[in-house]
């Protein structure tokens, strides 16, 4: 039982890190209905920009501030330069546009900062913290969990306690109705993309510290897709719960099922789990059913 709990808790911690990437998907999809396939590339660009400034011996706070500005501007630029001109086109057109943007962002990041692998040190020791008996928890995972909690709390306050958040919720409930009452749609969508850039920075720093800053970092976004689907596409709370489920299923599946069928299931079992849930709840665990008048 102790070993089971160790594997289970470790999976939950990893799942929270997946949730960080999934929240970026949720923010943009909730406000504009666009699935932003470029979110993984934004995570990579954020991590690569931050670590490059640190390697120039620029202070931590200054590097963080500069990278924050870069990611906000990148999010706004992506929305204004490309997606704003594709308004009223089909969803598949918008999706393919974000696929193309993903390659462009990765290419620009490589052109500016190079393609070398970088180690990212955040000053957080990744040591085992003894809890009870031989049950341990990684201090880095605990720190990452705290960051996720702070970020989600901040986003909840932003959406529920500010005028901008009220506008964004109105757009999510009905874009046409929001426009009819004077909500500045284009400006609000730009705010969402800027916020997604900030989320990408947080995710990029944590994942970069864990895996190293390299161009395979953008693949982490693929692991966030089942989280996004399970959470119901538009729910930040759902993204957190979906991340916890995916992390736990991934770890437990690899240990208890992988040993039976030969291992290697960690890469596909989250997708199988998400598919199983969708067969039961097509709108995800926290998604709203779409009602269409005919």
Q: Is the pLDDT of residue 292 over 70?
A: no
- Cβ distance 202 to 147 under 8 Å? yes
Residue of higher predicted confidence among 179 and 290: 179
Residue of higher predicted confidence among 60 and 172: 60
Confidence at residue 291, expressed as pLDDT on a 0 to 100 scale: 55
Dihedral angle of Cα 45, 46, 47, 50, to the nearest 10 degrees = 120
Query: How many angstroms separate the CA atoms of 165 and 15, rounded?
Result: 26
Q: Is the pLDDT of residue 125 over 60?
A: yes
Confidence at residue 71, expressed as pLDDT on a 0 to 100 scale: 92
Q: Is the pLDDT of residue 178 over 70?
A: yes
Confidence at residue 133, expressed as pLDDT on a 0 to 100 scale: 65
* Alpha-carbon distance values, 134 to 2, 33, 130, 144 (Å): 8, 47, 7, 22
Residues 81-119 as b or e (16 or more Cβ within 10 Å = b) = ebbeeeeeeeeeebeebbeebbeebbeebeeebeeeebe
Query: How many angstroms separate the CA atoms of 243 and 129, rounded?
Result: 23
Give the range among 58-67, 217-226, 255-264 with minimum mean pLDDT: 255-264
Report the pLDDT averaged over residues 185-212: 87
Residue boundaries of the structural domains of the chain:
11-218
Percent of the chain with pLDDT over 90: 12
- Cβ distance 143 to 202 under 8 Å? no
Backbone angles phi, psi at 120, to 5 degrees: -115, 120
Report the pLDDT averaged over residues 57-66: 92
Residue of higher predicted confidence among 84 and 142: 142
- Cβ distance 137 to 74 under 8 Å? no
pLDDT in tens, 208-238: 888 888 877 877 878 888 999 888 888 888 8
Confidence tier at 63 by pLDDT (50, 70, 90): very high
Q: Residue 44 burial by CB count (10 A; 0-12/13-18/19+): exposed, middle or buried?
A: buried
Confidence at residue 34, expressed as pLDDT on a 0 to 100 scale: 80
Percent of the chain with pLDDT over 70: 95
Query: How many angstroms separate the CA atoms of 10 and 248, rounded?
Result: 8
Q: Is the pLDDT of residue 168 over 90?
A: no
Q: Residue 243 burial by CB count (10 A; 0-12/13-18/19+): exposed, middle or buried?
A: buried
């Amino acid at each position: 039982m102790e070993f089971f709990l160790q594997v289970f808790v470790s999976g939950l911690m990893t799942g929270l890190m997946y949730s960080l990437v999934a929240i970026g998907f949720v923010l943009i999809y909730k406000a504009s209905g666009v699935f932003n396939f470029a979110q993984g590339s934004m995570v990579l660009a954020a991590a690569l920009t931050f670590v490059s400034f640190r390697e120039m011996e620029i202070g931590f706070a200054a590097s963080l501030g500069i990278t924050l500005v870069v990611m906000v501007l990148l999010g706004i630029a992506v929305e204004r330069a490309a997606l704003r001109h594709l308004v009223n086109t089909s969803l598949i057109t918008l999706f393919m546009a974000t696929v193309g943007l993903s390659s462009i962002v990765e290419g620009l990041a490589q052109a500016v900062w190079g393609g070398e692998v970088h180690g990212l040190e955040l000053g957080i020791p990744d040591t085992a913290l003894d809890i009870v008996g031989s049950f341990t928890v990684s201090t880095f995972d605990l720190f990452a969990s705290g960051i996720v909690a702070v970020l989600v709390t901040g986003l909840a306050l932003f959406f529920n306690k500010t005028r901008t958040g009220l506008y964004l919720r109105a757009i999510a409930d009905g874009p046409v109705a929001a426009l009819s009452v004077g909500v500045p749609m284009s400006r609000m969508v730009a705010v969402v993309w800027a916020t997604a850039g900030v989320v990408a920075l947080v995710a990029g720093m944590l994942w970069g510290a864990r895996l190293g800053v390299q161009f395979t970092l953008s693949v982490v976004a693929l692991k966030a897709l089942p989280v996004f689907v399970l959470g119901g596409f538009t729910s930040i709370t759902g993204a957190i719960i979906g991340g916890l489920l995916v992390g736990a299923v991934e770890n437990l599946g690899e240990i208890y099922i992988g040993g039976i069928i030969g291992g290697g299931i960690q890469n596909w079992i989250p997708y199988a789990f998400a598919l199983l849930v969708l067969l039961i709840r097509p709108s995800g665990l926290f998604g709203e059913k779409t009602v269409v008048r005919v």
